[in-house]
Homo-oligomer: A and B are copies of this chain.
Amino acid sequence: MTEPIVDQGVFAPVLTPFKADLAPDAARFVAFCRRLMKEGCNGLVLFGTTSEANSLSLDERMALAEAVVEDGIAPGALIVGTGLCAIPDTARLTRHAVELGCAGILMLPPFYYKGMSDEGLFRAYAEVIERVGDARLNVYLYHIPQVSNVPLGLDLVGRLIEAFPGTVVGIKDSSGDWDNTHALITRFPGFRVFPGSEVLMLAALREGAAGCITATANINAGPIRALFDTWDDDTAGDLQARVTAVREALQTAPLVPGLKRVVARMLDDPDWGRVRPPFVKLDDAATGALIEKLVAAGFDLAGKDT
């Protein structure tokens, strides 16, 4: 049986909850994944930047992915972040995700060494794709230069699409740079471009984007999904303004610690507030201020409390 593959829509890069000893909390993680799908996500990204992915070991990532699939979420709705600095590690996680039947993998470039050439970055991606050597592999490139400090330029993206047609199928563009998102959509027809924030979603969908992979979907999936479903309606501009206001409020605090405290509040589950170093848990005062701003921006905290 071939799983149907989700390749468009709204994806949440799922927050990763931790126990008191900072071990990943698989039970809370799985329950939260289920909740996000119910709230309106078309699919989930396991182990994006928002997930503290790079604070997790390989074994921790694989165990969590397996727990989600065992819980019954269709692997065809999952894109798994696998991009690490070392090719054997990236290949191992990628192979694991393909064998689980996942919709795709989201691959950072190797991000330790800076100023690498397009040739070097191309070879890094190519080496992983060739080592995995599986026709089921769908690679989404991950462009997040403000964090990775290793940008993926348009020429490199084009070269990868050309070299691996049907495998390099899309990109998460978290640059926040509309010119770049627009150039990706128009220069590579059929390539699935996901802006990394819903702020650009309407504009991007009008140009042909595939959807959105956004941290905010961890708390505001419903309205973001509604925007995806109705982007061609007259009401879309208003809805975009409303989801943008929530996002802008969210961005007044550190994103990952802030999201986790908001989720803790929504679920009435303080354990959700934990982060792994180098992140620091948002304190109560900052959390209160953040929630006030979200509410002022129209975010319906109580309505999501069940």
Contact = CB atoms under 8 A, between A and B. Distances in A.
A59 B121 CA distance: 23
Nearest to A112: B54
A163 interface: no
A277 B167 CA distance: 20
A237 interface: no
Interface in A216-251: none
Nearest to A113: B278
Interface string A89-115: 100100000000000000001111110
Nearest to A60: B88
Interface residues of A, number: 39
B57 A88 contact: yes
Contacts of A148: 112
A284 interface: no
Interface string A132-145: 00000000000000
Contact of A54 (B56, B109, B110, B279): B110
Interface in A249-306: 276-280
Contacts of A110: 54-55, 277-278
A123 interface: yes
A268 B88 CA distance: 29
A287 B280 CA distance: 46
A2 interface: no
B113 A54 contact: yes
A27 interface: no
Interface of A: 22, 49, 54-60, 85-89, 92, 109-114, 116-117, 119-121, 123-124, 126-127, 146-149, 276-280
Given A22-B127, A54-B85, A124-B278, 10 more contacts: A54-B113, A57-B89, A57-B92, A58-B58, A59-B88, A87-B276, A111-B112, A117-B280, A120-B279, A124-B277
17 contacts: A55-B86, A55-B110, A57-B89, A57-B92, A58-B58, A58-B89, A87-B277, A110-B277, A111-B111, A112-B147, A116-B278, A116-B279, A120-B277, A120-B278, A123-B278, A124-B277, A149-B149
